Structure 1
Amino acid sequence: MKFFNYICLLCALAFNVQAQVKQKKAGNHQHLSDTALLELVQQQTFRYFWDFGHPVSGMARERSNKAFDYGDEVVTTGGTGFGVMAMVVAAERGWITRDEALTRLLKMISFLQKADNYHGIFPHWLNGSTGKTIPFSRKDDGGDLVETAFLFQGLLTVRQYFNHDTPRENELRNKINRTWNEAEWDWYTRDGRNVLYWHWSPNNGWSMNHEIRGWNECLITYVLAASSPDHSIKPEVYHQGWTSSPYFRNDREFYGIHLPLGFDYGGPLFFSHYSFLGLDPRGLKDRYADYWEQNKNHTLINREHCVRNPKGFKGYGADCWGLTASDTYDGYNAQSPENDFGTITPTAALSAFPYTPEYSMQALKYFYYKLGNKIWSQYGFTDAFNETRQWYASSHLAIDQGPIIVMIENYRSGLLWKLFMSCPEIQNGLKKLDFTSPQLK
């Protein structure tokens, strides 16, 4: 009898432990305040960049799984730019010490100074141990101007944050400045044309022939190119290149919401995230748009599509919305209202916190409390899910994880916006392109 009771006790204890583990995995802590939930999501997501960063270079790995034959060595230039901004948040909020962040960042910038580059512009992917280029595609084996722009958006933010007059912080700033000054943005006008080109390589030259024209995620590329101390572009490159596209102006309404720029219904939501991790859209205007209106209305259109749910996908609604590029059940796709197959990507709604805080919090609570046992993990939310097909990703992507941390922080404190907009070069570049902003002195 005692033995039977002992077995029952062990079974009960095991069941209790399993229940606690499941609860922790699901994130079902119903007592969390909104502030505590935001902090938890930011901090847990940060672990992707901190715990899972490449052991040699410290840079962000492309993704958490080995899909598409990426392997363990692939690190991403743009995702690292998002990751270093997340490290600023972590240091400011005390998840890591300032000195710990400084050590990791010095490792990264020292690695980048020795890594492959093409007229100062880095490739999309690097080998995290050797710094050698890993081709993104057959001809994409050289400089990637847009990924490099995302990287420098992060590095300049880091430079502004680590402003103490100490040997190591001076070293970090000096190394960032040298790398920034060496980037030849003007080279990527392809012999002085009035548009920027996305790719160049010594093996394939300009054969990718990808002109960077708007509206999409690339605004930051033109801002940085205009801001370069030694290799800046002329204003005409912006006004005649970036804005010269049939998909730049829109000025129509979708679901009764005005959309100044871009594709019908706005396209995937990362258009309103990647360039605006550092660029402060509050009051940011030029002759083409009010960028706060653009980004907020883009978000509202995307959400309204999910609420109306014209294709009848399971789970869609006011609590569950957000269409952007991510993994999906049959590979990778750029989801949007015009390219909708039922896949919701948490980064879409969560990185929109500055624009739609109430709606984003509504989505966050659904993701965490209702779906947490399926999509919450050691690195925060997994990449995407499709309830119609009962598919839930196990993967995480650097370019999706980073904006969650950064944009929630910009909603909470404006920290990254303040730092990036304080760069003297960025101030000059924005003025050069005829932007106005309350942040411009």
Structure 2
Amino acid sequence: MINGYTAKFFTKLDSTDKFQQISDDSLLTLIQHRTFKYFWDFAHPTSGLARERNTSGDIVTIGGSGFGIMAIIVGIERGFITRAEGISRFSTIVNFLKDADRFHGAWGHWYNGVTGKVYPFSTNDNGGDLVETAFLVQGLITLRQYLNPNESSENNLINQINELINGVEWTWYTKDGEDVLYWHWSPTVGWAINMQIRGYNEALIVYVLAASSTTYPINPSVYHSGWARNGAITNGKTFYGISLPVGFDYGGPLFFAHYSFMGLDPRNLSDNYANYWQQNVNHTLINRQHCIVNPGRYPLYSADCWGLTASDDNTGYGVHEPTRDIGVISPTAALSSMPYTPEESKKVARFLYYKLGNKVWGEYGFYDAFNVTANWWGTSYLAIDQGPIVVMIENYRSGLCWNLFMSAPEVKQGLSRLGFNTSR
């Protein structure tokens, strides 16, 4: 500090490769394999579910485990594990879920991975979490479609999965018949959190699954009035010269384009409000262009290093997006957008792996986030960030999870009921 003036200087990036160059195809496989290990090697030993993060002990997460189920399917198809190993793990998971606490059929956010008892996410959040439940059901339906009914062990799993998903009382979460779904219900405080699930955000899959239920289906008006707010989710403005069909200005954090679309295929998916392929592509491009323009003048932001979403950061945990940008890059943001921006996302993968190396790469793939301005390099892993990397890269490469989930007859019926067009 000189005369009250403080200056901060950053040395130039060491541009030498930190790892040996391999083909892009090999790099994608390596990223998928290392990230998959979070859900395989680090799964809870009793329940088989995914730990919330790499410091969670016995706390497992329902939504992240839904992503993990899909990641294990990818692992089988990529040869990381055998099918027999995968089926054994799926059996452990399903048996745990069958006996775990449920709240009008919905699961909670967190559980003790040994006892199956719900672990409160917050003071009043000690019951059902419909969004986390939807992420799990998305994974379970994808798994059911993957299983072979001609194999007795797999057919048994199919029947168990159907019992699980048919038990979710989606209509209960309309709070006595309102035209909207509610996020939480607690057996001790009821609807105290009082959070409606309204769009546009990461929860489109909740309404698709609620309409697809063969036991407790919602009326289409719940989607159109509740989620879509009678059309108020539309945006239509341009940001950095790129139009945005629905959602918040600048699109919001990139997980909006990932979580609902792990199984829900946005290719040729449209309704009264948006073409969802265009929505996700443009949302990603806006997020990328913001990092290129870099109004905050953050180090490393560029066409090689972009991606803002919710993640750990130097202050704890936060939501990062163009309107809330503090200099945090989260690898899951660009990597999980691989189907939408394949070449642009591969540039980020190459930069992170070759140029930043061990600063961002560890036992279970890329660490959650980093902030060069704060000289903070995270060493955490989060299930909800790791899962989309594995699954969305695979959806780019083969369409695996998209094709499985969309093959479910009740999903086709639910989408039709809500007025979606899925023609190709």
User: Shared fold by TM > 0.5?
Assistant: yes
- Structure 2 unaligned residues grouped into runs of 5+: 1-15
Q: Aligned residue for 2:315?
A: 330
Aligned positions of 1:6-405 closer than 5 A: 28-65=18-55, 71-244=56-229, 248-405=233-390
* Structure 1 residue ranges (4+ consecutive) displaced by more than 4 angstroms after TM superposition: none
The letter of the residue matching 1:108 is I
The letter of the residue matching 2:394 is E
| Structure whose CA Rg is larger | 1
- Structure 1 unaligned residues grouped into runs of 5+: 1-25, 66-70
Per the TM alignment, residue 438 of structure 1 is displaced from its structure 2 partner at its CA by 2.5
The alignment yields a C-alpha RMSD, in angstroms, of 1.2
Q: Which deviations, in whole Å up to 9, do the C-alpha atoms of 1:310-364 show, x marking residues without a partner?
A: 0100110010000000000011000000000000000000000000001000000
Does structure 2 conserve the Cα–Cα contact (< 8 Å) formed by 1:215 and 1:247? no
The letter of the residue matching 2:158 is R
Q: Aligned residue for 2:13?
A: none
Structure number with higher helix proportion = 1
The DSSP-based 3-state class of the residue aligned with 1:126 is strand
Q: Which deviations, in whole Å up to 9, do the C-alpha atoms of 1:165-187 show, x marking residues without a partner?
A: 11210111111000011110011
* Cα distance change on mapping 1:371 and 1:247 into 2, 3 Å: farther
Does structure 1 conserve the Cα–Cα contact (< 8 Å) formed by 2:149 and 2:158? no
The DSSP-based 3-state class of the residue aligned with 2:144 is helix
Does structure 2 conserve the Cα–Cα contact (< 8 Å) formed by 1:270 and 1:324? yes
Distance of 2:134 and 2:362 partners within structure 1:
30
Distance of 1:311 and 1:393 partners within structure 2:
21
Q: Percent identity?
A: 59
Does structure 2 conserve the Cα–Cα contact (< 8 Å) formed by 1:247 and 1:263? no
Q: Which deviations, in whole Å up to 9, do the C-alpha atoms of 1:366-419 show, x marking residues without a partner?
A: 111111220101100000001111111010000000000000000000000000
Distance of 1:233 and 1:241 partners within structure 2:
11
Distance of 2:403 and 2:22 partners within structure 1:
29
The letter of the residue matching 2:86 is A
Per the TM alignment, residue 103 of structure 1 is displaced from its structure 2 partner at its CA by 0.2
Is 1:430 aligned to residue 420 of structure 2?
Answer: no
The DSSP-based 3-state class of the residue aligned with 1:304 is helix
The DSSP-based 3-state class of the residue aligned with 2:303 is coil
Distance of 1:402 and 1:245 partners within structure 2:
32
The letter of the residue matching 1:134 is Y
The letter of the residue matching 2:61 is T
Distance of 2:149 and 2:218 partners within structure 1:
31
The DSSP-based 3-state class of the residue aligned with 1:251 is coil
Distance of 1:87 and 1:27 partners within structure 2:
31
Aligned length: 409
Per the TM alignment, residue 245 of structure 1 is displaced from its structure 2 partner at its CA by 7.8
- Please report the TM-score for the alignment, with normalisation by the length of structure 1: 0.91
- Please report the TM-score for the alignment, with normalisation by the length of structure 2: 0.95
The DSSP-based 3-state class of the residue aligned with 1:249 is coil
